[in-house]
Structure 1
Amino acid sequence: MNLTREQIRVMIYYDYKKQLSQEECLESLHKTFDDSCVSRATVYNWFAEFSRGRDHFEDEPRAGRPRTAVTPENIEAVRELAAV
């Protein structure tokens, strides 16, 4: 089962709200899924974010190119350029 980042963050938030420790959260995730599900650093970072008041799970907008640049529009533009 492939979990999205947001799904993992929701589970970390749930454990945070239950007042589990970071280690208990990490152990629970590894026991339920596997050791590659999430890193220790990720759990600790998200506990810190939630303790600062963050209450949403999506990535913050940032500068730079998007995660993926492959869109139907881009594919069509490349095909048109290749046909010239």
Structure 2
Amino acid sequence: MDLSRENFHSIIFYDFKGNMTAQQNLAWLRTALGDETPYKTTIYNLFAEFKCSCVNLNDEVCDGRSSTAMNDETIGSVRLMIEIDKHVFTTGFGHP
């Protein structure tokens, strides 16, 4: 499976919004993706950025909340993830 950095960032952001901890996200990704899992430091750094409202799903440096974090592509990616697992509680995506 070839996932881009943006795909990984979207997955990690989705789990962050679902109140998963960085440690839980790492364990889940290792179970689901094995050797393709991003490094632990990458996941923890992304969680820290998301906690500071720095949402940048691209592979760019984030100085503040990115105006491009919520676009049609990311919204579509998140909707697809929600459709796959309807049991995940999300906030901030316009879904109940």
Question: TM-score higher than 0.5 here?
Answer: yes
Distance 2:35 2:41 in 1: 13
Structure with bigger gyration radius:
1
Q: Does 1:43 align with 2:28?
A: no
Counterpart of 1:24 in structure 2 is 24
Q: Which runs of 5+ in 1 are unaligned?
A: 62-84
Which TM-score applies when normalising by structure 1?
A: 0.66
Distance change (3 Å), C-alpha of 1:59 and 1:36:
closer
**Equivalent position amino acid for 2:3 in 1:** L
Q: Secondary structure at the match of 2:9?
A: helix
Structure possessing the higher relative contact order (Cα contacts under 8 Å, 6 or more residues apart): 2
Which TM-score applies when normalising by structure 2?
A: 0.58
* Greater Cα shift, 38-47 or 49-58: 49-58
Distance 1:34 1:57 in 2: 22
Question: How far has the Cα of 1:58 moved from its partner?
Answer: 1.0
Pairs aligned (count): 61
Distance 1:60 1:3 in 2: 17
Deviation string 1:7-38 (CA, Å, 9 cap, x unpaired) is 00001101100111111000111111114421
Task: Please provide the CA RMSD for this pair.
Answer: 1.4
Distance 1:60 1:4 in 2: 13
**Equivalent position amino acid for 1:6 in 2:** E
**Equivalent position amino acid for 1:5 in 2:** R
